[in-house]
Structure 1
Amino acid sequence: MLGLGAAWIIFTTYEISGNLLSWLMILGGAAIVASSLLSRNRATRQANDLIGGIIGGFIVALVFSYAFGYVGFLPGIGGVTGSGTPVTETKSITGFTSVSAAMGFNVEITESSTFSVRVTVDDNVVDRLQVTKEGDTLSIALDPGIYTSMTLRAVVTMPDIEGLELSGGSRGSISGFVGLASLDLELSGGSHVEVEGSASDLTVDASGGSTLDLENFPVHDANIVLSGGSSGTISLDGTLDADLSGGSRLWYVGSPTLGDIDTSGGATVQRR
């Protein structure tokens, strides 16, 4: 009970990340270490049981906090549902060469001689919208929290692009960029990207069941890292280096030279 109470206070009073798995791994690891240390001395068996109970309570409370509090199942506790009334805001941000989107945003990026950034969200989360420039990167997200039934859309134009990062189930499309020197794509948390155009070099790092459709984006050389059941199709005629794990799958079109290919955990690389 002590563990349950303490954990509930911590996870509902402070803004804790919604990544449940990470917190469970941390708490589980702490429980194993504490149990191992304390079990070496019989005199500390009661303390061992107490600490185990507290940590167990933390884990149970975390699960309930995540499942009920943070998704808004309980009135007045966390969670925001879209109002159904979308509004579009125009941001005067220029000079970026990369884009980062999180929390389920759908981002459309096209080539243009000028910069423009238009973001559409439900009117009840406008004050939670975060659109900033960090170095050379345009970053688009909402304040940390749990959101459901949201309109999350961004339309971006820019003269040149070097990279796109998508996380938290975000989706992105890139079109109109022909003859890029290189493009760096980073995807996580079930995100998806589709690219049309061409480039000399391509680098991809995708995890957590993310997907990529690059069949209409021919490149010369590619370095692809896929993990956690991610998958995708690429097009190239130079050298392909790939590192795939955890059941990930990569298809390629064209006639590349297979360079450093490393697969594990049922992952595959094959010609389409």
Structure 2
Amino acid sequence: MPEGHTIHRLAARHRELFAGDKVLAGSPQGRFADGAAALSGTVLTGTEAYGKHLLHHYSGGLILHVHLGLYGRFTDGDGEPPAPVGQVRLRLASDRHWLDVRGPAACELLGPAEVAALRERLGPDPLREDADPVVAYARISRSRTALAALLLDQSVVAGTGLIFVTEALFRAGLPPTLPGRDLTEPAWHALWADLRELMLAAVATGRIDTVAGEHLPEAMGRPPRVDRHGGEVYVYRRPGLACHVCGTEVRRGVLAGRNLYWCPTCQASSTRIR
């Protein structure tokens, strides 16, 4: 599933393509035919991302909500759109550009009250200027749940996925199994600031890089990481390999049904992951 930086990049891309333009909308697949008919002929006035949720705002108060989930993806291009390929849920087109979305978990029109309810269900998004980390800490500090599980819970923090959570905890020297209530408030604000910095960098570059300069391949004389997710990381998907900082073998475990990765030395704790 795309992490939050990808959705913020998509919001910016769609704003660049269509803001201020009248769009024609269709649903070649047919599953969004009524919604596409309502959108067709309206003007895109703005876009925004909230966590892993993308919102398009159109004239007349229409709001398109898209959540890509595990399998959704966007494609776009210039000029006349090509013949639809595959199950295109929604196609948008203007005089200059076109946009397709396939396989989203959600593609729907919402009213202002429904969007407000959606935001109410989500925790603060580190990439938004209106985010309040104190709101997240209020939840974390009352919970016995493992910190990694809390940070992956979109109702606690919106937009964070396994890569950001795993890497931010390593950079903070915090074990993923640390109970939320054992995290001090200063440690939380430092963790939040680092999450925000990592995610902002990913928005700018389109990839997740988390290692410091002294741990880059050229500095350490090691080969670059090869992974479909790209980016240089400390522990994510590196089980059995040496930690870039201390040389200890990176571990992998399961917590709340998710694979987690950590360094038992840099993130020392008596709490175990099975």
Higher helix proportion, which one? 2
Which one has more relative contact order, counting CA pairs under 8 Å at least 6 apart? Answer: 2
Q: Which has the larger radius of gyration?
A: 1
Higher strand proportion, which one? 1
TM-score band w.r.t. shorter chain? under 0.3
